[in-house]
Amino acid sequence: MSLQYIQGRKRYARPQAMLFADNPGQIVEDIDSESVTFGESFYIPLGNEIGAVNYDENDSNEFLILSDDNRQPIQFRTNRIETKSRMANGRMRSYHVADKLTVSTSWQMLPSRAYALNADFNVEGKSPYINTTNTEFTSDGGAGGVDILDWYNKYTGSFWVYLSYDKFSNFSYDSNIDERYQNLNKYSQVMEVFFDSFDYSIEKRGGSNYDFWTINLSLEEA
């Protein structure tokens, strides 16, 4: 995927719930698309703006926007790493190290591909293939089944997941301007993760365009 692909997604009010990236990024808010250059910046969608993400020159800066089509609930399970023991007086004590999350979700009847052809967005964010008959298979343009499988095969180590949901506590509080309540259209959490589990099934073979897949995955925080 490319910067042109990101620019072509500005029509959505909020980003998809999940995005995979090979770098953690540093989100810079409210970048005017007219001032965007093709220099040393990597871009991810942040609502109606384009957000710049700084990256190390050794990163390849790949990302994968996951579709919300037929996506099941995103489940969070907390693993509290601690040592607990009961003292002689009967009171419990705990030495807390960290809380780590396991994030899991699934897709049912997800098209195996997002587009019939390479969308090939240009610098104006337009594609000659979009909004024509039978060319866009996921309604939001997010990744199809094969795209997700390809990411799983390529990333045997850690990568980052961007999560967009209402977690306003992750934003700063200012008594004059409470930013916590103005960031619903942005990714509110970024985590370094490993694949904990991944499986898929071909539910229905389509015609000449795409198949329908079911995908289940679980991500464990690094």
Instruction: Report the pLDDT value the prediction gives residue 51, as an integer from 0 to 100.
Output: 38
Domain limits, the chain: 3-221
Q: Is 200 a residue whose pLDDT tops 80?
A: yes
Instruction: Report the pLDDT value the prediction gives residue 213, as an integer from 0 to 100.
Output: 96
Instruction: Report the pLDDT value the prediction gives residue 126, as an integer from 0 to 100.
Output: 60
pLDDT bracket for residue 9 (50, 70, 90): low
pLDDT bracket for residue 38 (50, 70, 90): very low
Instruction: Report the pLDDT value the prediction gives residue 73, as an integer from 0 to 100.
Output: 96
Q: What tens digit of pLDDT does each residue of 62-102 get?
A: 788 899 999 999 999 999 888 889 999 989 999 989 999 99
Length of the chain: 222
Q: Measure the CA–CA gap between 47 and 37, rounded to whole angstroms.
A: 19
Q: What tens digit of pLDDT does each residue of 117-168 get?
A: 776 666 555 666 666 656 888 888 889 999 999 999 999 999 999 898 888 8
Q: Is 183 a residue whose pLDDT tops 80?
A: no
Give me the DSSP letters along the chain: --HHHHHTTTT-SS--SEEEESS---EEEEE-GGG--SSS-EEEEETTEEEEE---TT----EEEBP-TTBPPPEEEEEEEEEEEE-TTS-EEEEEEEEEEEEEEEEEEEES-SBSS-----TTS--TTTTSTT-B-STT--B-HHHHHHHHHH-SS-EEEEE-S--GGGS---SSS-GGGS-TTS--EEEEEEEEEEEEEEEE--SSS--EEEEEEEEEE-
